[in-house]
Structure 1
Amino acid sequence: METRSRINLWSSPRNISTALMYAFAQRADTTVVDEPLYAHYLGHQPTEADHPGRETILKTQNNDGNAVVRQMVEGEYTTPVVVFKQMTHHLIELPQDFLFQMVNVLLIRDPREILASFHQVIDKVTARDIGLPQQGELFDRLAVAGTLAAVVDARRLLEDPPGVLEQLCEQIGIGYDPAMLSWEKGPKAYDGSWAPYWYAGVHESVGFRPYQPRAVELSPTMERVAKECLPVYQRLLEHAI
Structure 2
Amino acid sequence: MKIVAWSGPRNLSTAMMYSFGNRPDFEVMDEPFYAAYLAQTGIDHPMRGEILSNQSFDPSAVAALCAATPKIHSYQKHMAHHMVPGIPLDWARDAVHLHLIRHPARVIASYGAKRDQITEADIAFAAQATLYDRIGGLILDTADLRDNPRGMLAKLCAELGISFDESMLEWPAGGHRADGIWAAHWYNAVHKSTGFAGPEGPLPRVKRDDLLAAAMPFYAAMKARAIQP
Q: TM (normalized to structure 2)?
A: 0.94
* Distance across 2 between alignment mates of 1:102 and 1:114: 26
In structure 1, list runs of 5 or more residues that go unmatched. Answer: none
Name the CA distance, whole Å, in 2 between partners of 1:105 and 1:206: 23
C-alpha separation between the residues in 1 aligned to 2:225 and 2:202? 24
**Which amino acid in the other structure matches residue 225 of structure 1?**
L
**Structure 2 CA distance for aligned equivalents of residues 66 and 205 of structure 1:** 35
Deviation at 1:215, TM superposition (A): 4.8
Could you say what the CA RMSD is over the residues aligned between the two structures, in angstroms? Answer: 1.4
Residue of structure 1 aligned with 2:198, choices 189, 205, 210: 210
Shift of 1:175: 1.5
Alignment of 1:136-155 (within 5 A): 136-143=129-136, 148=137, 150-155=138-143
8 A Cα contact 2:11 2:102, kept in partner: yes
2:68 corresponds to: 74
> Could you state the TM-score of these two structures normalised by the residue count of structure 1?
0.89
| Corresponding position of 1:61 | 55
Q: Does residue 1:197 correspond to 2:185, yes or no?
A: yes
User: Hey, what's the Cα distance between the residues in 2 that align with 1:193 and 1:214?
Assistant: 32
| Aligned-partner Cα distance in 1 for 2:59–2:124 | 18
> For each residue in 1:185-231, what CA deviation from the matched residue of structure 2 results, as whole angstroms up to 9, or x when unmatched?
11221111011111111111110010121452322xx2101110101
Partner of 2:5: 9
Structure 2 distance, partners of 1:225, 1:44, is 24
Q: Between the two proteins, what is the percent identity of the paired residues? A: 36
Task: Quote the offset at 1:65 in angstroms.
Answer: 1.6
Partner of 2:82: 90
Give per-residue Cα distances to partners, 1:13-52, cap 9 Å, x unaligned: 0111111000001111100011101001111227x5x421
Q: How does 1:1-241 map to 2 (within 5 A)?
A: 5-45=1-41, 50-74=44-68, 77=70, 79-93=71-85, 94-143=87-136, 148=137, 150-219=138-207, 222-241=208-227
Partners of 2:39 and 2:24 in 1: CA distance:
34
Structure 2 gap ranges (5+): none
**Quick one: distance in 2 between partners of 1:214 and 1:167?**
25
The SS at the match of 1:42 is: helix
Q: Distance in 2 between matches of 1:95 and 1:63?
A: 13
Q: Is the 8 A contact 1:112 1:223 kept in 2?
A: no
Report the number of matched residues.
226
Aligned partner letter, 1:201: A
